[in-house]
């Protein structure tokens, strides 16, 4: 009875603290500017099914893709067992589904055990790829300190959770009148000499370690890159469906330009009653970004596929699309903590652009969309970069001087170069062709 | 075959005669002013003439789409350019546009509709592919590029940005050439280094130029010809080939130049 009460308290506490933190992250995300991404719903469901559930982009890199799917499938399916653990914990039952499912139960648990082995194997491979023979994208500048530790902690926790599950079943396999399952039967000899009491202790300790571990891991997620296991789903659902080359329209600027060009507009007219004050052009800080960019930041798992295909980064420039996402999240967390402390955001004299992301980084972007294409969860680093560029160009007037010249040329000659517009037809001079179609 | 000097119609001239073309040829700034890109423009014009497609250009009424301004962050300038261009094209009741520049293509096709400019916009790769498929454009047997090793460089704004990977390749297949892919191609293609308004400024500090990295991909395929479908890629790739001192053995051509050249339409 005491055990049930302890379990219920832990469950409520674990769930409650997690829900509270998720609420804060949700609040942080919606500090961003409004953006409607609720159109074309059926396409959105298909995209989410294909990219998040189906992991379609993960397999672009076959080795990482294969092992990731192993962990993903293991995680999703083994968590079905957590349902049983929760019911058992609350009501003091033991393997409540066993009598209901009969032999099929043994098959399922046996399958889960095989998956658990797969997950452990994948974690070892991933640990190897990060630490023993590191893949280049895991050792770049931004992957030191916490991001590196975070990645390793996740792998270790997953191995511990899976081991607890296997140990629990292995202990039970040795008990009087009980049987194990596919893997635990094979592992059973490991605990052969242990007394019946000892086996019960091991089984109980493992059971508690597994569920407490899961609750702890759940609460670790929102502080970690591992939060992607949840946000990958909404993030793919809300992804941009338009061609990736299409940059968003700024309606505020469109209106202003329309007014400028309208000969009947009164330039001194007061703004309409109740009209919103025009916001900042582009983004200097995280609140200036559309909320989807902030969701992107929390969804990023720092895999670095974006950075590894970035033409700027691979030719030694400072820009790293992954760092853009990590910086955005870091700054948003600081802003969130500021709000928690002060009730509402109090200017701290800092901003995303300048204190986290340097002008040199955003100026190196080719807007080639390789990073967007590479991201397994449809994050768009380019849209953050271009919003920051907009601030630089339209608010701060801090563009590279050659761009200033290019702007002038477009304004004056209608071309980015200093050629007179009158020469536009120069290409057609003396255009000699040999043709069977003689009609000129 | 007879040699003639083509006279290019402008929309204004046709409108004065009460006529309208089948298609507007949007030349773009590079195609209008850049010496190398002008050759691409001439090739496209020669092909359109050869297949008997009635076309016209805006001439001095054409102005930058605003793409580089928008990518560099200057939305005001972009909106000014867009408003001006849309006004001109709507005045001429333009329905269909072809352009040889993927950046113009992307802007006209994706970013003008929201601002009141609704047209059917084709990149010349797609138009050429259609003309070949319809049998209107044929490549002569034994054209100059038959059996040559050609590698195609995907422009970001045609490929990833708009998902057009097959059209330019199908055009090249018509040449009966030996098409070889670079290790990074199609959705994984590497940028030439010009996009995002980089064309108009020095690159940021790094250890290599992007176009050198890209031309090394191309050289690995041991090509006779590097094919492009974008005037800015053309500049970057040509510079890359020069940097590697390969300009005598490797030529960089636009797909339109290859088709026009194979048919002996232009010199």
Q: Which residues of chain B fall short of a pLDDT of 50?
A: none
**Domain match, A220 and A128 both:** yes
DSSP summary character for residue B138: -
Total number of domains in chain A: 2
What does each of the 440 residues of chain A score in pLDDT, given as a tens digit? 788 999 999 999 999 999 999 999 999 999 999 999 999 999 999 999 999 999 999 999 999 999 999 999 999 998 888 899 999 999 999 999 999 999 999 999 999 999 999 999 999 999 999 999 999 999 988 999 999 999 999 999 999 999 999 999 999 999 988 889 999 999 999 999 999 999 999 999 999 999 999 999 999 999 999 999 999 999 999 999 999 999 999 999 999 999 888 888 776 776 666 666 668 999 999 999 999 999 999 999 999 999 999 999 999 999 999 999 999 999 999 999 999 999 999 999 999 999 999 999 999 999 999 999 999 999 999 999 999 999 999 999 999 999 999 999 999 999 999 999 999 999 999 999 988 765 54
What SS3 state is found at A357?
A: strand
pLDDT confidence of residue A73: 94
Distance from CA of A214 to the nearest CA of B (A): 38
Burial of B131 by CB count in 10 Å (0-12 exposed, 13-18 middle, 19+ buried)? buried
By Cβ distance, the residue of A258, A365, A424 closest to B196 is A365
Distance from CA of B249 to the nearest CA of A (A): 26
Q: Buried (b) or exposed (e) across B89-102, using 16+ Cβ within 10 A?
A: beebebeebbbbbb
Q: Tell whether A246 is covered by a domain.
A: no
**Domain match, A167 and A299 both:** no
Taking a C-beta distance cutoff of 8 angstroms, is the pair A74, A115 a contact?
yes
Cross-chain Cβ contact A399/B74 below 8 Å: yes
**Domain match, A286 and A222 both:** no
Which of B5, B33, B192, B199 is the best residue to mutate to test the A interface, defined by the most A CB atoms within 10 Å of its own CB? B33
For chain B, list the domains and their CATH numbers: 11-129 (3.40.50), 139-262 (3.40.50)
Q: Buried (b) or exposed (e) across A272-283, using 16+ Cβ within 10 A?
A: eeeeeeeeebbb
Taking a C-beta distance cutoff of 8 angstroms, is the pair B72, A399 a contact?
yes
Cross-chain Cβ contact B63/A253 below 8 Å: no
Burial of A264 by CB count in 10 Å (0-12 exposed, 13-18 middle, 19+ buried)? exposed
Distance from CA of B25 to the nearest CA of A (A): 12
pLDDT confidence of residue A274: 66
For the record, the structure tokens of A177 come out as 């009148």
Cross-chain Cβ contact A427/B162 below 8 Å: no
Cross-chain Cβ contact A245/B200 below 8 Å: no
pLDDT confidence of residue A271: 66
What CA–CA distance (Å, rounded) separates B190 from B213? 9
Taking a C-beta distance cutoff of 8 angstroms, is the pair B33, A423 a contact?
yes
Q: Predicted ipTM? A: 0.96
Q: Tell whether A240 is covered by a domain.
A: no
Cross-chain Cβ contact B188/A430 below 8 Å: no
Which of A424, A430, A436, A439 is the best residue to mutate to test the B interface, defined by the most B CB atoms within 10 Å of its own CB? A424
Q: Which residues contact B21 (CB under 8 A, 6 or more apart)?
A: B9, B11, B14, B54, B55, B56
State which residues form the domain around A338.
Answer: 281-421
**Domain match, A299 and A387 both:** yes
Q: Tell whether A178 is covered by a domain.
A: yes
**Domain match, A315 and A217 both:** no
**Domain match, A199 and A325 both:** no
Nearest to A181 by CA among A109, A118, A77, A117: A109
Phi-psi group of B146: left, alpha or beta (phi > 0 → left; psi -120 to 50 → alpha; rest → beta): beta
On chain B, the residues whose CB falls within 8 A of the CB of A402 are: 200-202
Cross-chain Cβ contact B32/A425 below 8 Å: yes
Q: Where are the alpha helices (DSSP H) in B51-165?
A: 67-71, 75-91, 102-106, 124-133
Q: Tell whether A256 is covered by a domain.
A: no
What CA–CA distance (Å, rounded) separates B110 from B48? 24
- CA distances (Å), origin B22, targets B12, B48, B55, B97: 14, 11, 6, 9
Which of A57, A240, A245 is the best residue to mutate to test the B interface, defined by the most B CB atoms within 10 Å of its own CB? A245
Cross-chain Cβ contact A406/B197 below 8 Å: yes
Considering only alpha carbons, which residue of chain B is nearest residue A306?
A: B188
Q: Tell whether A408 is covered by a domain.
A: yes
Distance from CA of A438 to the nearest CA of B (A): 7
For the record, the structure tokens of B82 come out as 């867009």
Q: Tell whether A322 is covered by a domain.
A: yes
pTM value is: 0.95
Can you give the CATH number for the domain in which A356 is found?
Answer: 1.10.1060
**Domain match, A75 and A199 both:** yes
What CA–CA distance (Å, rounded) separates B218 from B241? 9
Q: Which residues contact A166 (CB under 8 A, 6 or more apart)?
A: A113, A116, A117, A183, A184, A187
**Domain match, A193 and A293 both:** no
Distance from CA of B240 to the nearest CA of A (A): 14
């Amino acid at each position: 009875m005491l055990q049930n009460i302890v379990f219920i308290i832990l469950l409520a506490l674990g769930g409650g603290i997690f829900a509270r933190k998720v609420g804060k992250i949700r609040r942080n995300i919606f500090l961003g500017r409004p953006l409607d991404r609720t159109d074309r719903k059926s396409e959105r469901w298909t995209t989410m099914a294909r990219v998040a559930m189906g992991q379609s982009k993960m397999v672009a890199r076959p080795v990482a893709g294969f092992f990731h799917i192993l962990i993903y499938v293991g995680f999703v399916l083994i968590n079905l067992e957590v349902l049983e653990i929760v019911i058992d914990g609350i009501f003091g039952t033991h393997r409540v589904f066993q009598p209901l499912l009969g032999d099929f139960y043994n098959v399922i648990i046996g399958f889960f055990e095989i998956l658990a082995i797969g997950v452990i194997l994948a974690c070892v491979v991933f640990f190897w790829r990060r630490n023993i023979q590191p893949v280049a994208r895991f050792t770049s500048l931004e992957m030191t300190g916490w991001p590196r530790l975070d990645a390793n902690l996740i792998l270790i926790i997953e191995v511990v959770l899976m081991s607890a599950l296997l140990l629990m079943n292995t202990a039970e396999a040795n008990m009087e009148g009980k049987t194990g399952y596919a893997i635990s039967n094979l592992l059973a000899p490991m605990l052969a000499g242990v007394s019946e009491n000892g086996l019960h202790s091991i089984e109980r300790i493992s059971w508690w370690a597994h569920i407490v571990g899961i609750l702890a891991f759940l609460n670790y997620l929102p502080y970690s890159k591992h939060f992607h296991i949840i946000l990958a789903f909404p993030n793919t659902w809300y992804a941009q469906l338009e061609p990736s080359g299409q940059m968003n329209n700024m309606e505020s600027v469109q209106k202003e330009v329309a007014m400028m060009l309208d000969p009947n507009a009164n330039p001194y007219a007061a703004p309409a009653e109740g009209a919103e004050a025009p916001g900042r052009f582009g983004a200097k800080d995280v609140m200036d970004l559309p909320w989807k960019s902030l969701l992107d930041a929390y969804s990023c798992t720092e895999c670095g596929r974006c950075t590894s295909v970035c033409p700027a980064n691979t030719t030694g420039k400072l820009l790293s699309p992954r760092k853009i996402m990590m910086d955005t999240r870091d700054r948003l967390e600081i802003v969130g903590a500021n709000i928690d402390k002060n009730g509402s955001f109090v200017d701290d004299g800092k901003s995303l652009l300048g204190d986290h992301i340097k002008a040199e980084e955003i100026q190196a972007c080719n807007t080639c969309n390789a990073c967007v294409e590479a991201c397994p969860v449809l994050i768009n680093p380019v849209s953050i970069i271009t919003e920051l560029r907009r601030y630089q160009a339209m608010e701060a007037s801090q563009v590279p001087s050659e761009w200033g010249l290019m702007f002038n040329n477009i304004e004056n000659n209608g071309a980015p170069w200093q050629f007179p517009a009158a020469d536009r037809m120069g290409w057609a001079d003396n255009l000699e062709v040999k043709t069977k179609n003689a009609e000129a | 075959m007879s040699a003639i000097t083509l006279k290019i119609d402008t929309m204004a001239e046709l409108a004065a005669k009460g006529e309208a073309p089948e298609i507007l040829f949007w030349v773009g700034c590079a195609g209008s002013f850049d010496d190398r890109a002008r050759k691409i423009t001439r090739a496209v014009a020669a092909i359109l003439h050869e297949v008997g497609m009635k076309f016209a250009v805006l001439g001095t009424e054409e102005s930058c789409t605003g793409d580089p301004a928008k990518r560099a962050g200057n939305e005001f300038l972009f909106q000014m350019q867009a408003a001006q261009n849309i006004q001109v094209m709507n005045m001429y009741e333009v329905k269909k546009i072809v352009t040889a520049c993927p950046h113009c293509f992307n802007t006209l096709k994706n970013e003008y509709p929201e601002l009141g400019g609704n047209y059917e916009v084709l990149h010349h790769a797609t138009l050429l592919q259609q003309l070949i498929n319809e049998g209107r454009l044929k490549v002569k047997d034994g054209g100059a590029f038959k059996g040559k090793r050609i590698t195609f460089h995907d422009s970001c704004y045609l490929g990833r940005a708009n998902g057009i990977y097959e059209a330019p390749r199908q055009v090249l297949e018509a040449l009966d050439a030996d098409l070889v892919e670079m290790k990074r191609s199609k959705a994984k293609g590497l940028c030439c280094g010009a996009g995002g308004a980089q064309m108009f400024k020095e690159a940021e500090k790094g250890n290599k130029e992007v176009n050198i990295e890209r031309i090394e991909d191309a050289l690995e395929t041991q090509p006779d010809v590097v094919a492009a479908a974008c005037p800015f890629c053309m500049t970057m790739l040509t510079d890359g080939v020069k940097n590697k001192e390969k300009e005598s053995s490797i030529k960089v051509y636009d797909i339109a130049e290859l088709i026009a050249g194979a048919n002996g339409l232009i010199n």
